[in-house]
Amino acid sequence: MKDKRAFIFYFLMTLIFLDFANQIKVLSYKTYAFRIDNPVFSIVHLNNTGSAFSLFEDKTRFLIIFGLLAVLYIAFYVYRNICFEDKFQLLSLTLFSAGTLGNLLERIRQGYVVDYIKLNFINFPVFNTFDIMICIGIFLYLFFVLFDFNFLKFKKEKNGSN
């Protein structure tokens, strides 16, 4: 284990993000009764048996296995490689795991994922908050890894040497 605090943070924040996204989903069910429909977005409810952009449609077992392996791999990666000081990577991997776990649990429980956010200003697939968390997590991770934010550590070292 690289850093016990990092793994505990990862685990607890994954559960918090998972609960937060579930609460938004519950709110979407309540809101759906009022039919929110405006130029920006609508609340709809579609059962999606596939993944992003309806890839792997009706391949529920494959998506369950893939989601489970992804969550386990990320948890193991955090356990072995991430320090608590790597806050940006830790946050991005937490968002990714919470989103993947949310879709995974819903797929196991129902056999499909409920998508409910429809953008009205562009022709784009309907999605849910778990999908948003996955996309933000991946984007942030790639951004912080590609641009290597060591300048935060440099500032700390520079201030410590004065």
Annotated catalytic residue 115? yes
Q: Which of 19, 58, 115, 148 is catalytic?
A: 115
Annotated catalytic residue 58? no
Q: Which of 3, 58, 86, 131 is catalytic?
A: 131
Q: What is the 3-state secondary structure (H, E, C) of the chain?
A: CCCHHHHHHHHHHHHHHHHHHHHHHHHHHHHHCCCCECCCEEEEEEEECCCHHHCCCCCHHHHHHHHHHHHHHHHHHHHHHCCCCCHHHHHHHHHHHHHHHHHHHHHHHHCCEEEEEEECCCCCCCECHHHHHHHHHHHHHHHHHHCCCCHHHHHHHHHHHC
- Residues serving a catalytic function are 115, 131
